[in-house]
Amino acid sequence: MVSPAVALIGVFIFVPMVLTIWLSFHQWSTQTGFEAARFVGLRNYEDILGPISVGRDFKRAFLNTAIYTALSVVAILPLSVIFGLLVYQSRVAGGQFLRTILFSTYMVPMIAVALVWSKLYSPSEGPLNQILFWVGIGPQSWLSSPDTALYSIVILNVWQQVGYFTVLAIAGLTQIPSSLHEAARIDGANPVQEFFGVTLPLLRRTLLFSAVIAVINAVQVFEPVALITQGGPANSTNVLTFHIRRVGIERAQGGLGSAMAVMLMLSLIVVIVLIFSLARQKEERA
């Protein structure tokens, strides 16, 4: 019964995963068969962590990915809770409508998101700088400056993803028994106290789940970089998915690319374990 799924996942995920690890210790041109790989020990790792361009580019891509991921998660989680509360409340109309609008952005292919936002960000013909001008803020460089390009991509990611996480937050909110809210109100809690005393603690599991998914989604950023910025300007938007593909497939340096992929995998394991243990620690304290 499980064999089709196990066979497929085994062949197309576990086998290449093991191969990635194996290749990371080899010099191998992606153009040749696996048998052509030559064992080089830890040299690929030394190269990607070293001071020459291979190492600088990788470390920069790693850092960019980390910043991008952290900012995405930090922006998405609070927004998803706020938006979730707006949808969930029943005092004024429009909640369902907001949910539809927010979630529909999640349906849009990332490639279209990237194309549209590249036009929104256009320094002269784009509407964003025009709007800023109306409210008295000078034009921003958005994608054309290394100081702002990565943040600009974070913004478009948050825009696309926040709807999904809002629905997750709503799901979490519906699970909180209304008796707890009533009890808090009877105790004289104001809405702010109620939020921090009842709502937030009970949303912890949802937020934990959201955080993990948001991290996984964020490290996969590819389309805006591949299509719009090519990792630039000055490497400021070079992220791992783009960089690993460039090294491993375009330059055919399969061993180096695999070593980078292994580093990504290890870091993800560390981050996910950290998120879970952080949550568990809090749970124990609570």
Partner 1 sequence: MNAMTKIRMAAFAATVLTPFAAAAQDVELTYLTHWAPDTVKLLEEAASAYSEQNPGVAISVRAVPFGDLLTTIRSGGSGDGPTIASIYDLWLPELVRDGLVAPAPDAVSGEVTSEWPEGIAAAAAVDGQVYGIPNEINVYALNYNKAMFEEAGISAPPKTWAELQDAAAKLSTDGKQGFGLINSWAAGVVHPFASLLASNGGALIADGKPQLDSQKALETFELYETMIKEGYTDPAMGTSDANTTGPFLDNFVSGNTGMIIMANWWESALRAGMGDDFANIGTAPIPVGPSGDTARSISYSWMTVVNAGAEDAEQAAAWDFLQWLDGPDSGENGASAMAGILQSMGILPSRTSDVAAFEEALGRPFLEGYVSSLENARAFPVVLGGQEFSDALQQVIEQLEYGQISAQEAQQNAQADAESILERAQR
Partner 2 sequence: MTAMSPGRRSLRRIRRRTGNSLLFVAIVAISVIAAFPLVWMLLSSLKTPAESMQTPPVWIPSTPSLTAYREVADVIDAARSFWNSAVIATVTTAGILVTSLMAGYAFAKYRFRGRDLLFAVLISTMFLPPIVVLIPLFRMVTYMGLDGHLFGVIVPYLANAFGIFLMRQFIAGVPDDLIDAARVDGASELRIVFSVVAPAVIPAIAALALFAFVYHWNTYLWPLTVLQGNTEDYPIVLSLGRLLSYNRGAMNTGLVMAGATLAVLPPLVLFVFLQRFFVDSIVSTGVKG
- Tell me: does residue 32 bind partner 1 (CB under 8 A): yes
Identify which of 219, 248, 242 has the alpha carbon closest to the alpha carbon of residue 230.
242
- Tell me: does residue 105 bind partner 2 (CB under 8 A): yes
- Tell me: does residue 138 bind partner 1 (CB under 8 A): no
> Within 10 Å of residue 179's Cβ, how many Cβ atoms?
8
DSSP symbols for 89-147:
--SSS-HHHHHHHHHHHHHS-HHHHHHHHHHHT-TTT-HHHHHHHHTT-PPP-GGGSTT
Return the bridge partners of 27, or none: 38
Stretch touching partner 2 by CB under 8 A, among 41-49, 54-62, 166-174, 177-185: 166-174
- Tell me: does residue 143 bind partner 2 (CB under 8 A): no
- For residues 254 and 259, what is the distance between their CA atoms, to the nearest angstrom? 9
Please identify, using beta-carbon distances, which residue of 95 and 198 lies nearer to partner 2: 95
- Tell me: does residue 112 bind partner 1 (CB under 8 A): no
- For residues 17 and 99, what is the distance between their CA atoms, to the nearest angstrom? 38
The two tokens of residue 199 are 């709502």
151 binds, among partner 2, partner 1, none (CB under 5 to 8 A by kind): none
Instruction: Among 42, 111, 270, 278, indicate the residue that binds partner 2 (CB under 8 A).
Output: 111
- Tell me: does residue 276 bind partner 2 (CB under 8 A): no
Stretch touching partner 1 by CB under 8 A, among 28-36, 153-161, 166-174, 263-271: 28-36
Instruction: Among 10, 146, 177, 191, indicate the residue that binds partner 1 (CB under 8 A).
Output: 146
179 binds, among partner 1, partner 2, none (CB under 5 to 8 A by kind): none
Name every residue whose Cβ is closer than 8 Å to that of residue 49 and which is 6 or more positions away in sequence. Answer: 55, 58, 59
CA 97 to chain centre: 26
- Tell me: does residue 145 bind partner 1 (CB under 8 A): yes
- Binding string, 221-240, against partner 1, x = CB under 8 A? -----xxxxxxxxxx-----
- For residues 54 and 65, what is the distance between their CA atoms, to the nearest angstrom? 16
- For residues 76 and 158, what is the distance between their CA atoms, to the nearest angstrom? 6
* Least separation in angstroms between CB 5 and partner 1: 10
Buried b (16+ CB within 10 A) or exposed e, 225-249: bbebbebebebbbbbbbbbbbbbbe
27 binds, among partner 2, partner 1, none (CB under 5 to 8 A by kind): partner 1
- Tell me: does residue 227 bind partner 2 (CB under 8 A): yes
The answer to whether 204 and 173 have CB atoms below 8 angstroms apart is no
207 binds, among partner 1, partner 2, none (CB under 5 to 8 A by kind): none
Instruction: Among 40, 49, 74, 171, indicate the residue that binds partner 2 (CB under 8 A).
Output: 171
CA torsion through residues 113, 116, 118, 123, sign: negative
- Binding string, 74-93, against partner 2, x = CB under 8 A? ---------x--x--x-xxx
Please identify, using beta-carbon distances, which residue of 28 and 159 lies nearer to partner 1: 28
What are residue 251's phi and psi, to 5 degrees?
-85, -5
- The footprint of partner 1 (CB under 8 A) covers 1, 3-4, 7, 27, 29-32, 47, 51-54, 56-57, 118, 122-124, 141, 143-146, 226-235, 245, 249-252
